[in-house]
Chains A and B, each alone.
Chain A
Amino acid sequence: MSALLELEDVHAAYGLSRVLFGISIEVNEGECVCLLGRNGVGKTTTMRSVMGLTPPSAGHVRFKSRDITGWPPHRIARAGIGFVPEDRRIFAELSVWENLDVAQRAAARPGRWTIESVIDLFPVLGRLHDRQGGFLSGGEQQMLTIARTLVGNPELLLLDEPSEGLAPLVVEALLAKIGELKAQGLTILLAEQGIEFSLALADRVYVLEKGAVRFAGSSAALRSDRNVLDQLLMV
């Protein structure tokens, strides 16, 4: 069986500065795979090149065996890839409900996730229904971003540093929610710096350094590999 998502020797650059030097990774259906690595090793760029936001300069991205390299981002989203970016995450001037409504209309992919069912998953969003997105806390914004992506009913969820800048308690809650999604069978590609967060969720791990994959293996294998932990992750 071929992988749900497959990156083959992907190179990417912002203008003249090259960031990715031949990344090859695979994500199988139902798996949670984590990209680990320090700041600036290319985790975000890898996700952006999957999403078509930073199209690969060489190499291929395949989703469900279809070559999606060079597709515009909205088409990739509609094909079934949901992206949760790391930066300020919501449409700040839209209310919580409008954020979800826009996403549902834009993706136009019916499925099990509706505005009602994502509010069941994140009840806090139900209470903040009419609140403007810019007035949410960091954790609430992150939940809204994930909910907004879910209403598009993706088959693959790209989560870029979901724990960044959140308080430890909020991270705990988020971890539980993402675990819930995984248990329901959603395929997840996660980018993280925090090793505990990622090892708690991931089945398999890729460790990146300077735009290339330096380690690939199961979470258990990484845990026992002191070399990789010391050299690449400094933990």
Chain B
Amino acid sequence: MMKKSAPALVRRIPWVLVVFVAALTIPWVGSRYDTFLATQIAISALFAMSLNLLLGTTGLVSFGHVAYFGIGSYVCGILMKTYAVPFSIALPAAAIGSALGALVFGFFCVRLTKIYFAMLTLAFSQIIWAICYKWNDVTGGDQGIPDVPYPNLDWMSSIPLLGDLRIAQQFYVLTLIVVMLSLAAIQRIIASPFGLMLTTIRENPERAASIGLNVRRYELSAFVIAGGFAGIAGALFGIFNRGVFSDFVYWPKSAEVMIMTILGGIDHFWGPVVGAATLVLLNQEITSYTQYWPFVLGTILLLLLFVFPGGIVGGLTTGLEWLRRKTGRRASA
């Protein structure tokens, strides 16, 4: 009896809200540098979470997820810088632009499976990169789009506490709101019947088709939704970074977000968030100690993945489970 009620209680807590409130305190309790890191973590977490909708939920390995992150940041950056469009329009436009890109590319990608799917996603992302890199008139080419303005956050100044913050910190609050709303939406999607269908496809696409599921159409829907959320992350990152550049769309970014996701754990909702936080913090810490940071980072990641094959969250869950069983046995003995 007790066994069942404890996890049920844990599940009923709205964790997204809890994490939001906890993260919201950072500008007041931490330094400006902490807020900077927290912004980066929040945006990376959303990016990783959008990838995990494909990787963990649907079982699709996309090596080109950065394409949609990139489209989002360019659409938002160009609209806000070149056309002075307000953020409240530029952000949805970025999401829609990325989702449309994912619809067009995904249409071809879901026709392939496994490694061929992965290679085609990578190929499409490199095409996007080439366009961003070469189309000088629109994307600024190699120069990118510097000085993307902050959104107009005057409305925050009338809110007590928020009004005293610097613009970068206010942008952090805005980022947090957008990211948490997105995470809540993703959580709803995963728990919905639609999400259950995606899980079915991950478990066994052939069996899913045998019960009458149009596998390609569901995969494409997941691809479009994941692309849209990646676009939101990209839009936020362009503003945070004070500029949009072509290396946002270059393939190592796809590898980085995949490392975050796998490091955190693809089987758990919070895995990508933990992975993003871990990688961003490790990156910062190690680069401040040594110029050979990729070597140290690689070693740490290697060890982490060996110790926690299910990612950090997967490893912790297994550990807790083991502890509970051990203490439970002692209690009953």
Chain A interface residues (CB < 8 Å from chain B)? 51, 53, 72-74, 77-78, 83, 85, 91-94, 98, 101-103, 105-109, 148-149, 152
Assess the A94–B208 pair: CB atoms within 8 A.
no
User: Which chain B residue has the least Cβ–Cβ distance from A103?
Assistant: B211
Which of B193, B197, B210 is A83 in contact with, Cβ under 8 Å? B210
- Tell me the complex Cα distance, A101–B206, Å: 18
A85 to chain B: which residues have CB within 8 Å?
A: 207, 210
Known contacts being A101-B193, A105-B193, is A77 close to B209, with CB within 8 Å?
Answer: yes
Assess the A72–B193 pair: CB atoms within 8 A.
no
A72 to chain B: which residues have CB within 8 Å?
A: 209, 214
Assess the A106–B203 pair: CB atoms within 8 A.
no
- Tell me the complex Cα distance, A98–B191, Å: 11
- Tell me the complex Cα distance, A93–B203, Å: 8
A114 CB to nearest chain B CB (Å): 15
Known contacts being A101-B196, A102-B197, A106-B197, is A94 close to B203, with CB within 8 Å?
Answer: yes
Assess the B204–A91 pair: CB atoms within 8 A.
yes
Known contacts being A73-B206, A85-B207, is A94 close to B199, with CB within 8 Å?
Answer: yes
Assess the A51–B210 pair: CB atoms within 8 A.
yes
Chain A's interface: helix, strand, loop or mixed, by majority?
Answer: helix
Which of B197, B209, B211 is A152 in contact with, Cβ under 8 Å? B211
Which of A74, A91, A94 is B209 in contact with, Cβ under 8 Å? A74
- Tell me the complex Cα distance, A73–B209, Å: 6
Assess the B207–A77 pair: CB atoms within 8 A.
no
A40 CB to nearest chain B CB (Å): 20
User: Which chain B residue has the least Cβ–Cβ distance from A151?
Assistant: B211
Known contacts being A74-B214, A105-B193, is A53 close to B200, with CB within 8 Å?
Answer: no
Q: Is B85 an interface residue (CB 8 A)?
A: no
Assess the A148–B193 pair: CB atoms within 8 A.
no
B199 to chain A: which residues have CB within 8 Å?
A: 91, 93-94
User: Which chain A residue has the least Cβ–Cβ distance from B267?
Assistant: A93
Assess the A94–B210 pair: CB atoms within 8 A.
no
Which 5 A-B pairs rank lowest in CB-CB distance, beginning with the nearest? Answer: A77-B212, A107-B212, A73-B209, A106-B213, A106-B212
- 8 A Cβ contacts from B169-195 to A: 193
Which of A51, A91, A148 is B203 in contact with, Cβ under 8 Å? A91
Assess the B209–A102 pair: CB atoms within 8 A.
no
Chain B interface residues (CB < 8 Å from chain A)? 193, 196-197, 199-200, 203-204, 206-215
User: Which chain A residue has the least Cβ–Cβ distance from B213?
Assistant: A106
Assess the B206–A106 pair: CB atoms within 8 A.
no
A51 to chain B: which residues have CB within 8 Å?
A: 210
Which of B196, B200, B204, B211 is A77 in contact with, Cβ under 8 Å? B211
Assess the A73–B210 pair: CB atoms within 8 A.
yes
19 A-B residue pairs with CB within 8 Å? A53-B210, A72-B209, A73-B206, A74-B209, A74-B215, A77-B209, A78-B212, A83-B210, A85-B210, A94-B203, A101-B196, A102-B213, A103-B212, A105-B197, A106-B213, A107-B211, A108-B212, A149-B211, A152-B212
- Tell me the complex Cα distance, A107–B200, Å: 13
Assess the B206–A102 pair: CB atoms within 8 A.
no
B253 CB to nearest chain A CB (Å): 30
B194 CB to nearest chain A CB (Å): 9
- Tell me the complex Cα distance, A161–B273, Å: 44
A74 to chain B: which residues have CB within 8 Å?
A: 209, 212-215
A69 CB to nearest chain B CB (Å): 16
B210 CB to nearest chain A CB (Å): 5
Beyond contacts A74-B209, A93-B203: 17 other A-B pairs, Cβ-Cβ < 8 A, are A51-B210, A53-B206, A53-B210, A72-B214, A74-B214, A77-B209, A77-B210, A91-B199, A91-B204, A94-B203, A101-B193, A102-B197, A102-B200, A102-B211, A106-B200, A106-B208, A152-B211
A77 to chain B: which residues have CB within 8 Å?
A: 209-212
- Tell me the complex Cα distance, A148–B214, Å: 17
- Tell me the complex Cα distance, A141–B300, Å: 42
B200 to chain A: which residues have CB within 8 Å?
A: 91, 94, 102, 106
A83 to chain B: which residues have CB within 8 Å?
A: 210
A98 to chain B: which residues have CB within 8 Å?
A: 196
A107 to chain B: which residues have CB within 8 Å?
A: 211-212
B206 to chain A: which residues have CB within 8 Å?
A: 53, 73
- Tell me the complex Cα distance, A1–B213, Å: 31
B207 CB to nearest chain A CB (Å): 7
- Tell me the complex Cα distance, A51–B193, Å: 25
B90 CB to nearest chain A CB (Å): 37
B196 to chain A: which residues have CB within 8 Å?
A: 94, 98, 101-102
Assess the A91–B212 pair: CB atoms within 8 A.
no
- Tell me the complex Cα distance, A102–B118, Å: 27
B211 CB to nearest chain A CB (Å): 5
- Tell me the complex Cα distance, A78–B214, Å: 10
B196 CB to nearest chain A CB (Å): 5
- Tell me the complex Cα distance, A108–B283, Å: 49
B212 to chain A: which residues have CB within 8 Å?
A: 74, 77-78, 103, 106-109, 152
A106 to chain B: which residues have CB within 8 Å?
A: 197, 200, 208, 211-213
B193 to chain A: which residues have CB within 8 Å?
A: 101-102, 105
- Tell me the complex Cα distance, A102–B204, Å: 13
